[in-house]
């Protein structure tokens, strides 16, 4: 994640050349679609070009929750990058969604006020950044998507080139057919409720608290005692160090999990932004393997990371556990919410 600030003017549609058009996404779960380029290096996108992702008909009446962009900058396009990571020829991705009702193209807005245009970090081909553009409902509104556009709004025609590896779209489940089970650890944390017009989650910890997450569950905790009290897992939940194991209800169909999490860390002299990556999946009884459905998602200072199991793997059997794992750095789980299909 880059905190480099730049200002961009929107490029009009007629100035953008369509580099690719994807129409057949993989249906990952009841609430998510994945568009993926087969090239190991990703699809090259130059300034002034765009890629279109066409939404299947049966998902066009759903409301967009999050969009995750998989992008990076290849080594051959890195030039004159400073020791502080500043790239004078930065490649920047702008994501817009075309609304079915109005036909308008609507761009993402960061609820914390950061730049909505995303910097493509120099990374190897096997490790593109999973850039989570979250809370569309709160910052943009209810969007029934016809298509999604990713445009390169960088400036340098030779070096402001990005590699687009894919795009994942997460939708809200239909609330009238869902049962929700929620656990809050960090006081002040709450999830959204569109039916009650509560459109933005609240967090008990994060940047606004100086990186203090009182009573949160720490995953992948580094050495040293925290300067704030940590919580204990609730009944049916175990903290295995880097993993949180949540016992699931047998005979139900799991549709989605939402995890309120942050990785900003309080230090006596400063607030340190973390580098945690979150993985979420299901571990079946008598198996050590985990079927991951959220992989390598950037953990923000405070945010909700959501996802759901593959459609053919969503039926829960006795002994199945949901695994929430933090890699590379400490993450603080402030709460989670499960969505099960209502019983017939």
Could you tell me the pTM of the whole model? 0.75
Residue 164, in any domain of the structure: yes
Residue 4, in any domain of the structure: no
Domain match, 321 and 199 both: yes
The pLDDT profile of the chain, 344 residues, written as one tens digit per residue, is: 332 333 344 444 446 788 888 998 988 878 889 999 999 999 999 999 999 999 999 899 888 988 999 999 999 999 888 777 788 899 999 999 999 989 999 999 887 777 889 999 999 999 898 888 988 888 898 899 999 999 999 999 999 999 999 999 988 876 567 889 999 999 999 998 887 888 788 999 998 888 899 999 999 987 666 778 999 998 899 998 899 999 999 999 898 999 999 998 766 666 667 889 999 999 988 788 899 989 888 898 898 998 888 877 888 999 999 999 999 999 999 999 999 988 76
> Which pLDDT does position 5 carry in this prediction?
33
> Which pLDDT does position 322 carry in this prediction?
96
Domain match, 93 and 212 both: no
What is the length of the chain? Answer: 344
Domain match, 69 and 213 both: no
Residue 138, in any domain of the structure: yes
β pairing state of 17-22 and 49-54: parallel
Burial 181-208 (b: 16+ CB within 10 A, else e): eebbbbeebbbbeeeeeebebebbbbee
> Which pLDDT does position 175 carry in this prediction?
59
Q: What is the dihedral of CA 34, 135, 129, 103, to 10 degrees?
A: 60
Residue 209, in any domain of the structure: yes
Domain match, 221 and 120 both: no
The CATH number that applies at residue 194 is 2.60.120
> Which pLDDT does position 1 carry in this prediction?
36
Domain C-terminal end among 151, 171, 191: 171
Residue 199, in any domain of the structure: yes
Domain match, 181 and 294 both: yes
Domain C-terminal end among 120, 149, 171: 171
Domain match, 167 and 97 both: yes
Q: Tell the burial category of 119 from Cβ atoms under 10 Å away from its Cβ (0-12, 13-18, 19+).
A: buried
Angle, vertex CA 259, rays to CA 255 and CA 265, nearest 5: 165
Domain C-terminal end among 118, 150, 171: 171
Contacts of 72 (CB under 8 A, 6+ apart): 42, 120, 121, 122, 123, 124, 125, 127, 128, 129, 162, 163, 165
Domain match, 68 and 210 both: no
What's the domain count of the chain?
2
The CATH number that applies at residue 120 is 2.60.120.260
Residue 3, in any domain of the structure: no
Range of the domain at 48: 13-171
Q: What is the dihedral of CA 45, 48, 53, 54, to 10 degrees?
A: -150
Rounded to whole angstroms, the Cα distance separating 113 from 115 reads: 7
Residue 40, in any domain of the structure: yes
Domain match, 97 and 115 both: yes
β pairing state of 145-152 and 105-107: unpaired
Instruction: Retrieve residue 343's tokens.
Output: 């019983």
Which sign, positive or negative, has the C-alpha torsion 307, 312, 313, 316?
Answer: positive
Domain match, 206 and 323 both: yes
Domain match, 79 and 186 both: no
Domain match, 165 and 181 both: no
Which sign, positive or negative, has the C-alpha torsion 69, 74, 77, 80?
Answer: positive
Backbone angles phi and psi of 167, in degrees to 5: -150, 135
Residue 6, in any domain of the structure: no
Rounded to whole angstroms, the Cα distance separating 21 from 18 reads: 7
> Which pLDDT does position 9 carry in this prediction?
40
Domain match, 215 and 318 both: yes
């Amino acid at each position: 994640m880059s905190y480099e600030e730049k200002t961009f003017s929107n490029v009009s549609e007629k100035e953008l050349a369509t580099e690719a058009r994807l129409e057949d996404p993989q249906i990952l779960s009841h609430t998510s679609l994945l568009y993926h380029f087969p090239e190991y290096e990703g699809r090259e996108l130059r300034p002034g070009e765009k890629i279109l992702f066409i939404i299947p008909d049966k998902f066009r009446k759903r409301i967009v929750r999050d969009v995750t962009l998989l992008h990076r900058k290849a080594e051959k396009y890195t030039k004159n990058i400073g020791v502080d990571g500043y790239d004078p020829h930065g490649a920047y991705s702008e994501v817009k969604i075309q609304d079915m009702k109005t036909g308008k193209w609507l761009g993402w807005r960061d609820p914390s006020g950061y730049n909505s245009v995303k910097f493509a970090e120099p990374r190897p081909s096997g490790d593109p950044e999973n850039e989570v553009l979250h809370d569309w409902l709160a910052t943009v509104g209810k969007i029934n998507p016809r298509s999604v556009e990713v445009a390169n709004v960088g400036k340098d025609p030779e070096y402001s080139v990005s590699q687009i590896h894919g795009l994942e779209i997460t939708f809200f489940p239909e609330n009238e057919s869902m049962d929700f089970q929620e656990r809050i650890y960090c006081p002040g944390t709450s999830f959204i409720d569109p039916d009650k017009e509560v459109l933005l989650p609240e967090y008990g910890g994060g940047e606004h608290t100086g990186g203090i997450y009182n009573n949160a569950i720490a995953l992948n905790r580094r050495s040293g005692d925290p300067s704030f009290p940590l919580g204990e897992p609730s009944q049916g939940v175990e903290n295995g160090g880097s993993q949180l194991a949540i016992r699931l209800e047998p005979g139900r169909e799991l549709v989605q999990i939402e995890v309120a999490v942050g990785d900003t860390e309080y230090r006596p002299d400063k607030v340190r932004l973390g580098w945690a990556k979150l993985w979420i999946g299901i571990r079946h009884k008598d198996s050590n393997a985990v079927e991951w459905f959220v992989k390598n998602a950037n953990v923000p200072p405070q945010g909700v990371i959501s996802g759901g199991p593959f459609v053919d793997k969503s039926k829960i059997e006795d002994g199945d556990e949901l695994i929430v794992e933090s890699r590379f750095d400490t993450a603080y789980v402030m709460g989670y919410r499960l969505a099960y299909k209502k019983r017939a």
